Copies of this chain bind each other. A is one copy, B any other.
Amino acid sequence: MAQTPPARLMDGRDLARRIVDTSSATAADLRRRTGTAPCLATVLVGDDPASATYVRMKRNRCEQAGIRSRHVALPASTTTDELVGTIAALSRDPEVHGILLQHPVGAHIDERAAFEAITPEKDVDGVTMRSFAAMGFGLPGFVSCTPGGILRLLDEYRVDLAGKHAVVVGRSPILGRPAGLLLLGRDATVTYCHSRTTGLSAITREADVLVAAVGRPRLITGADIKPGAVVVDAGYHPGNIGDVDFASARERASLITPVPGGVGPMTIAVLLAQTVEAATRQLGAD
């Protein structure tokens, strides 16, 4: 059998850096013109260490890019009403341009109610129902950051999506579902697979573009991949493991995202870009 060369890597770090550089320049320009820097409010409920780390990373990146951040840390005992009240106040606050509620919040909180307290103009993380529908209908609006980052990566590597079969493994409200809708908006034929899917491997082997977004370490291996496919790994597990078994997948795919350095950096880059975009609009500087 002819040996195919291993897949080319889609370098999310490099593309993310360029997006952040652009956002940073726009933020500086905005500050010069309006006297105000873009500001992202981050809301963290409880004391989950992983969530705290994610929020800290996002705030650090903001700072590096000249985006202010305002952090609101709430105790684990926070009620839905209290959280909704806090977020609604941020939605009204003219000094805040974007709002990020770190997911997940405690199980006793109605997370959907909390997300919906984010006004659409400040939904830079793309979590509200309105943003979801905008992605579903191809209307202007902020996209969920990880799916948005995936699309930007595919564009950067000139992956033609029209008429291609894209298979999304995973259907979470801020990752798998919107990713599928965005791919559908680009004229891909889209299949959603998930925990209840039977015959997963037979379906993924039909994929021209495979997006693994299911949160199970190394669920997808080379044998599940059509030769020459484009593979996007949106998973992240301890030990730098993704939802895709990189070594075997790389032997089959033509293009693949590494973990780390693939989708991960893109998520924060899109968050920053959307925060700057939100600020530009809210400051009337567009």
Residues of chain A having any CB pair with chain B under 8 Å: 112, 129-130, 132-134, 136-137, 139, 162-165, 171, 173, 177, 180-181, 184, 187, 189-194, 196-199, 203
Contact of A133 among B132, B190, B192 (CB under 8 A): B132
Return chain B residues, CB-CB under 8 Å to A190.
191-192
A171 touches B184 (CB 8 A): yes
A193–B171 Cα gap in the complex (Å)? 18
A18–B187 Cα gap in the complex (Å)? 39
Return chain B residues, CB-CB under 8 Å to A112.
137, 139
A184–B190 Cα gap in the complex (Å)? 12
Q: Could you pull out 8 A-B pairs where Cβ atoms are within 8 angstroms?
A: A112-B137, A132-B132, A132-B133, A136-B177, A137-B173, A162-B196, A171-B184, A189-B191
How distant is A103 from chain B, measured CB to nearest CB, in Å? 14
Return chain B residues, CB-CB under 8 Å to A199.
165
Oligomer: number of copies: 2
**Knowing that A129-B134, A184-B194 are A-B contacts, what are 14 other residue pairs whose CB atoms are under 8 Å apart, sorted by A's residue number?**
A129-B133, A129-B137, A129-B139, A132-B132, A136-B173, A163-B196, A163-B197, A163-B198, A164-B198, A171-B184, A177-B184, A187-B196, A189-B193, A190-B192
B189 touches A189 (CB 8 A): no
Contacts A130-B130, A133-B129; is A194 near B203 (CB within 8 Å)? Answer: no
Question: Please, which residue of chain B has its CB at the minimum distance from the CB of A176?
Answer: B184
The 5 A-B pairs of least Cβ separation, nearest first, read A129-B133, A187-B196, A191-B191, A189-B197, A132-B133
B192 touches A189 (CB 8 A): yes
Contact of A184 among B139, B189, B192 (CB under 8 A): B192
B189 touches A194 (CB 8 A): yes
Return chain B residues, CB-CB under 8 Å to A193.
189
Most buried by B among A130, A191, A194: A191
A184–B180 Cα gap in the complex (Å)? 12
Return chain B residues, CB-CB under 8 Å to A184.
171, 177, 192, 194
How distant is A182 from chain B, measured CB to nearest CB, in Å? 12
